[in-house]
Chain A
């Protein structure tokens, strides 16, 4: 195994790509968990619906002969709108009635929703793997490094960075962000000081779903293929990433995702792809033994 720089860089960038996609999905997981302490199993399906919606829009617009960059933006926009709508609806139907129910029931409801959405798309669309047209144009200035990194990857990095910055800005400097932080700290207290908890929760779901949708569009463009099942696996990985980084923490979600992406990439590249998932999980266990709340997680103090 040659240790040349090119190979290392390729693996690094491949890991960065994976990590960025996981991050876009993990952000949604972590935000929802922070607010209502629910593992939103259906979140992976929101990501998949984002990808499918984008595919549909792209398909229609391509047939009408529109310009590819325009299609990309419109498809992404429509995907975001629809994913947010789905996220909002799912919350209202499957999670809101269970706010006071045992945690496990809400989890099962989430799982049921995940199953429902998967099969809904399967039946309404198709079980085939559908090719996704490459909407991201090849950048001229990237040509010398084309064998290491492609323009779609660069777009992914930049977008993830922008999303993270925007999200941090939202949480730290806006009123709704403050409200979100309040609700995640103490729901009852937030209600007492006049925060509309239902609205805050809905906004959280919407924002989380929007980021997942962006992830869906980007990864579909990059890999070139989507299928009704992609949400499940990506969802599990993103969830692992969120836990790794400390669930409930936004920088944690991104950090955890990047760490997971790099771990997988380097392990595959230097050792073997057979056990990459095993290694990723073992790594998770290892981290959690020493930091039970995840890398950036807040150490929870239990009030007696």
Chain B
């Protein structure tokens, strides 16, 4: 009896204490929110952005901050789930965030944008490539430093038709929002083009025990090339099975696969795989400097979307500086009228929110590394 009573009192007490923690005081700093998956199976896509923000903010704070104020980072995890993303967004807004770097996954971004829109906060994503986010016009507060999926899909299709001269193409996806969206774009572009036909359009179930059946289907369809929309875990499984079955079908994929992890996981079978990704930046001195900074701070090479996040952080803070305030409309104007030097090159943003000067190229795995195909 006593245990139950004390137990209840403790629980209620704990709740109260924690609720009180929620009442926070606002400090006089510029608050930059960083939202994305920082735990769970997609963490490798979100953590590099946090690193980028940390490095940029540290540099800028050392130089005196923005508008004389120090920049404070508010890092929140959304595990790439839309309903968690809304909680994350609400948390950031109620903590008085000024601008947001995020989110990472298109689905989570979509969910969060509604909240940012109502709160009149600008969000800039380094990785959310769903075209509707900018092109629908629903989210005037959204910007991104990466090109959208339809551009990627178009590039993949053009490459498959022009360079690989494929006539029969199997389009696959991993049933996720990103992968399926890309695949559908690719399919519609292909259907409009008389030079090739779509012989197969299938989704693979992520995490399934074995993929032989789908791979058989690819073989059966007689496809010359496979266009895959999705992330590297599924891509590497499919490619591995295909190559083990001695299938020479070309494999063209997207920036979810243009990741060194793909090469390391698929090993020898990654050889010859094509993937689209943001344009090669190794000739850009600022990019090299940013990579060096990451190596020095974290001891490892930067991961996915690092340069895009770096650029986005620079663009956001630069806009605040140029606009002289964190006011929503002033910031929008600043983003659209000012060029900013970033590891991606000199960029600015169009009225819809896409970055100009940011494009995609096709890469191929040669000798264990992704090499840009000219």
Q: Does A109 contact B (CB under 8 A)?
A: no
- Chain B contacts for A37, CB-based, 8 A: none
The answer on a CB contact under 8 Å between A269 and B246 is no
Q: How many angstroms between the C-alpha atoms of A271 and B149 in the bound complex? A: 28
- Chain B contacts for A230, CB-based, 8 A: 207
Q: Which residues from chain A sit less than 8 Å from chain B, CB to CB?
A: 1-2, 7, 10-11, 13-15, 17-18, 21-22, 127-131, 146-147, 150, 219, 222-225, 227, 229-230, 232-234, 237, 264-265, 268-269, 272-274, 276-277
Q: How many angstroms between the C-alpha atoms of A130 and B44 in the bound complex? A: 13
The answer on a CB contact under 8 Å between A234 and B209 is yes
Q: How many angstroms between the C-alpha atoms of A222 and B220 in the bound complex? A: 22
Contact of B208 among A11, A130, A233, A272 (CB under 8 A): A233
- Chain A contacts for B209, CB-based, 8 A: 18, 21-22, 219, 223, 233-234, 237
- Chain B contacts for A219, CB-based, 8 A: 209-210
Q: How many A-B residue contacts, CB cutoff 8 Å? A: 97
- Chain A contacts for B236, CB-based, 8 A: 129, 131, 225
The answer on a CB contact under 8 Å between B216 and A10 is yes
Q: How many angstroms between the C-alpha atoms of A233 and B261 in the bound complex? A: 23
| Stretch of B121-129, B184-192, B264-272 on the interface side | B264-272
Say what secondary structure dominates the interface of chain A. helix
The answer on a CB contact under 8 Å between B237 and A268 is no
The answer on a CB contact under 8 Å between A276 and B205 is yes
Q: How many angstroms between the C-alpha atoms of A44 and B237 in the bound complex? A: 21
Q: Does B40 contact A (CB under 8 A)?
A: yes
The answer on a CB contact under 8 Å between A7 and B265 is no
19 further interface pairs, Cβ-Cβ under 8 Å (given A131-B267, A227-B233): A7-B216, A10-B212, A10-B216, A14-B212, A14-B216, A18-B209, A21-B209, A127-B40, A131-B236, A131-B266, A147-B245, A150-B245, A223-B211, A223-B237, A223-B240, A224-B240, A232-B207, A273-B203, A273-B214
Q: A219-B209, A237-B209 are in contact. Are A225 and B265 (CB under 8 A)?
A: yes
Q: A21-B210, A127-B41, A265-B213 are in contact. Are A225 and B202 (CB under 8 A)?
A: no
Interface size of B by CB at 8 A reads 35
Residue in chain A with minimal CB distance to B206: A233
The answer on a CB contact under 8 Å between A268 and B210 is no
Smallest Cβ distance from A64 to chain B, in angstroms? Answer: 20
Smallest Cβ distance from B219 to chain A, in angstroms? Answer: 8
Task: Report which residue of A7, A224, A229, A276 has the largest number of chain B beta carbons within 10 angstroms of its beta carbon.
Answer: A224
Contact of A269 among B205, B216, B261 (CB under 8 A): B216
Q: Does B244 contact A (CB under 8 A)?
A: yes
> B231-250 CB contact bits vs A (8 Å, 1 = yes)?
01100110011001110000
Q: How many angstroms between the C-alpha atoms of A10 and B43 in the bound complex? A: 36
Q: Does B295 contact A (CB under 8 A)?
A: no
The answer on a CB contact under 8 Å between A147 and B208 is no
The answer on a CB contact under 8 Å between B216 and A11 is yes
- Chain A contacts for B241, CB-based, 8 A: 223
Q: How many angstroms between the C-alpha atoms of A228 and B327 in the bound complex? A: 45
Residue in chain A with minimal CB distance to B267: A131
Q: Does B204 contact A (CB under 8 A)?
A: yes
- Chain A contacts for B207, CB-based, 8 A: 229-230, 232-233
